[in-house]
Amino acid sequence: MHGRRVFVLGMGRSGLVAAQALVAGGADVLCWDDGETGRQRAEEAGLSCSDPLRGGLEGVDMLITSPGIAHLYPKPHPAIGMAMQLGIPLDNDIGLFFRSFATQSWTGFDMAPKVIAVTGSNGKSTTSALIHHLLEVAGRRSQLAGNIGRGVLDLQPAEDGDVIVLELSSYQLELARSLTPDIAVFTNLSPDHLDRHAGYGGYFAAKRRLFAEGCPDVAVIGVDEPEGQYLATQFSDHTHDDRVIRVVSGQKPKGNNWQVTARKGFLAESRKGRQIASIDLRDIPGLPGAHNHQNASAAYAVLRALNVAPRVIEEGLRSFAGLPHRSQMIGEISGVRFVNDSKATNVDAALKALSAFDNIRWICGGLQKEGGLSALQPALGHVQKAYVIGREAEAFAMQLDVDCEVCTTMQAAVRAAYAQSQPGDVVLLAPAAASFDQYDSFETRGEDFIAQVGAIKGT
């Protein structure tokens, strides 16, 4: 990018880091954020801001946009629309990363660095963090970035044998001009962000780009849904193609492919119809429930593709502490456990959280996504009562076929759930909705849950 004029739109974490990386690479960089706070952040970092709608795109060679800014659906941001009319190429920080990752210094390495990219609707954060943890346990130097942790252009330059683990959302994948991971992971697919992708097909198409555009050496694909099955067959040349590792949940392995299955609390690896390894996941505290067993299976498959022994992987699985806001055990008060799964922002994630526990006092609600709540029905037998929060709590509660109490606030919900609990119950925050009606993020919502539990402990 040396000597080229580049416009960076959006001064959040990834946009700010991208602009700074471009400056360091010798580009002439202009920036903009629709919010005053973002522009102030850029100016404090020594970057120049210019309104793109007032001549800011003059002479620009490329526009780099942040993931949260719509470039096509439901409608393009005005600056992006103008850039496309002017024929200015679009990219994002993920595309820049893949285009600049390999350097001349690699010619002297004994082992070329690798990139593992993880996508899917649910579980991609836990799977990415777990892969990173397993690599460290196995003695492989690793960095974690993307939709989790650091911005990709904030990573340290790769050294001999390094592994980069990236969590990539559909927003990041749909626009990146370059996608070249060594190993690509597809966890699962369920409806999410449908307005941004103009429907379910567009959402899947964004995820599929990681494989169709990237052509990874190995693809680890969850095949519980038809889309995953389709993706696996598209990537395979024949039934014994070891470039594809299928991840199966809740079923016995079928066929003679390379498969990793999670069933009844056990992880099993099979190749050519023969089981070659098995791990009991039932007593691993950092990976509770079938959904986390699926995450463990995907991470296991990646490590096996890197020739790490099953016993080493098992050691890493047992020492994994889990991620905040993902089936996070907060503590226990008088025999009642409190679990924070604020990251369960859609119905499918909430369904998996509800399926992981019994005797649940369920805190749910928030900014509801498309599709309704009927898909939660199979797990409602685990729920003793729901405590609904959010500005539209009454409307949310009316859709649930379970005893409900409209609480609106987190404080009221936590106090009511605990007051009505018996020893052995689980107070579970699994909202099945976005947080933005009351909170800035799912993290803030989860932290409020933790604070309210802490207040009960202190009484």
**Pick from 349, 408, 340: nearest CA to 373:** 349
Longest Cα pair distance anywhere in the chain, in angstroms?
67
**Pick from 17, 300, 1, 39: nearest CA to 145:** 17
In sequence order, what are the residues at sequence separation of 6 or more whose Cβ sits closer than 8 angstroms to the Cβ of residue 73? 195, 196, 197, 198, 202
> Is 22 within 8 Å of 1 (Cβ atoms)?
yes
The reply, when asked if residue 126 is annotated as ligand binding, is yes
The reply, when asked if residue 124 is annotated as ligand binding, is yes
The reply, when asked if residue 122 is annotated as ligand binding, is yes
The reply, when asked if residue 125 is annotated as ligand binding, is yes
The reply, when asked if residue 264 is annotated as ligand binding, is no
What tokens were used for 164? Answer: 């980069």
The reply, when asked if residue 459 is annotated as ligand binding, is no
The reply, when asked if residue 178 is annotated as ligand binding, is no
Q: How many whole angstroms separate alpha carbon 431 and alpha carbon 104?
A: 48
What end-to-end distance do the CA atoms of the chain give, in Å? Answer: 59
> Is 126 within 8 Å of 167 (Cβ atoms)?
no
Binding site, annotated residues for ATP:
120-126
Binding site, annotated residues:
120-126
